[in-house]
Structure 1
Amino acid sequence: MNRITSQILSWMADIKNNAIEPESELPAFGTPLIGFSSAADSLFDFLKVDIGADFYWTPLDAFKVAFPEADVRADELSVIAWVLPQTEHTRASHRRAMDMPSIEWSRARYYGEKVNENLRRHVVKYFADAGLYACAPVLLPQWSRAVSDKYGYASRWSERHAAYVSGLGTFGLSDGLITSVGKAIRVGSVIVHKKYDPTSRAYTEYNEWCLFYAKGKCRGCMQRCPAGAITESGHDKVKCKDYIRNITSAHVEEEQLGVRVNSCGLCQTKVPCESRNPVSKVK
């Protein structure tokens, strides 16, 4: 185990860093999965062109935004990606939810993403203290959301795509990332001026861990979506966003946490890919 993997696992094991809400003894997430990729991986160049060459960052693009003075090549940089699994406590409560997210899920979405943000900052600081340049692309002031001509809603840097390149999982019918610990997750990433051995990808297709694409069966996420935003044609981002922004976020504010939170994730639980890679179990 390398030092940064040990550092991430140790930091997340401390409940002071990983509480589902302030002062709680319940963790926001389980044990992380951690993957590595080279910034020179050709998949990053493909993603830039495929998603939106005019706005999407490769790792080198993001690194140069953070450190314009740095004279570096892509093959000198590594992407570190992690998957934070939702706990069984959170998932169990969310399985019972129908049209609105459970309060446990909303807590994990709101406070849990603060855990994720703090982990990004911790990893960046860990490298900075060692004299190495590092950045978390989604925390850069220049990071923003965008619209892809091909895919609709997008952003300058996708944590899920970074995790996909880093060997942590493939995409499903709902656009969620299906990992060895399932789809009920949060994802983070950091780029560092240091070489790590890339994590091997146990897949060749971007969607091969999804039962629908691999076996022509399941459709569980379709049945779970209260907005009708998932069909056999894929994920309708407009319907999904409208439901979350106009329906569930208001519910979270009025009935749960007192703040508007983009909480839903119903398609991530009560499905075969909730907490595992379902294809690996299919003969």
Structure 2
Amino acid sequence: MKNFLARRLIFSVLSLFIASMAVFGLAHAKEDPINLFIQPGYFVSPETLEALKAKWGLDKPLALQYLTWAGNMLRGDLGESVQQQRPVTTIVGEKWGATFQLAIVAWIFGTVTGIPLGIISALQRGRVVDYLARGVALFGQTLPAFWIGLVGIWIFAVWLGWLPVFGRGEGLPFWQQAKHYVLPTLVLGWGPMAGYMRITRSAMLEVLDSEYIKLARAKGVSNRMVVWKHAFRNALIQPLTIATLLLAGFMDGAVLVEVIFAWPGVGRVAVEAVNQNDFMLITGTVFIFTFLYLIMSLVADLLYTVADPRIRLS
């Protein structure tokens, strides 16, 4: 167990180091980042340009720039937004609550619908329920999220007038505020729900066809015990991987959903930073996204040891 955790921690640290180099390198790959701060058509004197470079630390050698940037990141200093003249941590912190709330709701929706559908589909293989569940998964994985969002707005907001489509309803009573979550949650959770269903179904079918399941049935073990204790637990590793990484992706900010529904979250902030050429805000948010993915990957590895004792003992 200790060796397993040590390997995973070392791997996470190395991945974070490589990811930080990639983020920094991509930001400097095309041209000097100082050019992003200069609007087309405006003249900037050489003295002003040098002052800006000194302010943002772009007058130092590239290796020293990286070490300074990485050291600040490790201390939690993500720099200062060029456009807003405020710390990146403050900007992201103000938007994180909205993203986290939507992420949790969408993650719960996708998990509690997709995994049970996958189990039912596997147990009802070749029957009507199986075909219906597979049809839902097919549409969920093929229909683009932006199309689902726009169609949902047209049906439930424009045509029926049931649901709002702008913002998250801050300051409204609970039930009215909950309506603001319905469409973003459905659009954000629809695709992951389909992915859960397909992966869970495949994993369950593979386990149900294994020899030890046939042996358990031959011994007279009840169907409920076979499904939930033997089959589902051994098929849980693949859905666990999807669950943790999906939660990380949701917390990173569902860019498309936040833009369509004007959701005041981190994903929308990242889009605005790209549009405004806000170098420090872009690198800061990307680094946070990467860090979250690595943390959730480590959590997934730890959950493996709970689901499968063979990993814990290896």
TM-score (norm 1): 0.25
Which of the two has higher C-alpha Rg? 2
> 1 or 2 for the larger relative contact order (CA 8 Å, sep ≥6)?
2
Q: Which has the higher helix share?
A: 2
The TM-score with structure 2 as length reference comes to: 0.23
